[in-house]
Amino acid sequence: MPSAPDTAGAREAAPSTAPATQNELDGLLANIRKTFDADFEPLQVDDGTLDVLTVRDMPRHLDALLRRGAIHDPMRDLPLWAKVWPGSFVLGRFLRTQEPQGKRLLEIGAGCAICSMVAARYGFAHIVASDNVADALTFARANVLKNHLEDRIEVRHLDVTTPGQDARFPGGFDIIAASELLYLDDLHRPLLKFLERHLAPGGKALFCTDLARAKPRFAKLAAKSFNVQEGKIGVKTRDEEGAEQRRIYSVCILERP
């Protein structure tokens, strides 16, 4: 697995896994391995590591999906949630600049929860890592347990296109964040409506996107209801062959007026 960009923080040392937690983790892994050839791999983050559950032979898994006719819309049906996106580290690291101490964070489209795990060391009172894909949630929960972050990160199913106030989130969130989520144009309007319902007074929403996939239209829509700031972050990362790459990320920050 490629190394993470040097913009991510290391996880803190944690005690050994409690028996109940280990039992839950073992059960999750048993179910996951009925479908996926998956195991934990260490992912370098600054001076430490995260253990990340990884699909070991993704091409073979994709071939199996194609044989079953399970891919109708590649942007929605491919297991993009299983990929370790460098933008997750960029956003996770950037969140420490948002005065996180004591705040509530919601990550939307968390996939396997990389961003939430990076952000967990910065003092958030509570983090919810959410996704609307069942397999993503299972991987995310396994990652949280493996890295001893179950007291800091809650894994939840969430579909932002569902109208109405979600009773599970009373009071809303101080920060709502997502990486590589804006590529779905038809998600923009429902996402902004969700932010209007669930962003706490004075709260901020942050969206991190590889500049090659940036969506200027989203910021224009958001400006009708929010104060919008945009910036760019350059990072160094490595591809699967280990070659160094430089990427530029767009960070769009929405704040309640």
* Residue range 127-140, pLDDT digits in tens: 999 999 999 999 99
> Once rounded to an integer, what is the mean pLDDT over residues 155-179?
89
pLDDT at 190: 95
How far apart are alpha carbons 5 and 94 in whole angstroms? Answer: 13
For the segment 85-108, what is each residue's pLDDT rounded down to a tens digit? 889 999 999 999 999 999 999 999
Say if residue 27's pLDDT is above 60: yes
Q: Taking phi first (over 0 means left), then psi (-120 to 50 degrees means alpha), and beta for anything else, what does residue 164 get?
A: left
Q: Which CATH number fits domain 19-255: 3.40.50.150, 3.40.50.1100, 3.90.1580.10, 3.10.350.10?
A: 3.40.50.150
Percent of the chain clearing pLDDT 70 (strictly above): 83
- Strand 173-179's sheet: what is its strand order? 153-157, 126-131, 104-107, 173-179, 199-210, 244-255, 227-238
Say if residue 195's pLDDT is above 50: yes
Structure tokens at 80: 């993009």
Domain range summary for the chain, segments of one domain joined by +: 19-255
User: Which helix H or strand E contains 201, and what residues bound it?
Assistant: strand 199-210
pLDDT grade, residue 78 (50/70/90)?
low
Task: Provide φ and ψ at 176, rounded to 5°.
Answer: -120, 130
Say if residue 194's pLDDT is above 90: yes
pLDDT at 77: 59
How far apart are alpha carbons 54 and 81 in whole angstroms? Answer: 11
For the segment 207-225, what is each residue's pLDDT rounded down to a tens digit? 999 998 888 899 999 999 9
DSSP code string of 241-254: T--EEEEEEEEEEE
How far apart are alpha carbons 145 and 19 in whole angstroms? Answer: 12
> Once rounded to an integer, what is the mean pLDDT over residues 24-30?
97
Structure tokens at 8: 């991510």
pLDDT at 239: 64
Contact by Cβ (8 Å): 58, 36: no
| pTM over cut 0.95 | no
**Checking DSSP bridges between strand 199-210 and strand 244-255, what pairing results, if any?**
antiparallel
What angle is formed at CA 30 by the lines to CA 26 and CA 32, rounded to 5 degrees?
A: 115
User: Which helix H or strand E contains 187, and what residues bound it?
Assistant: none
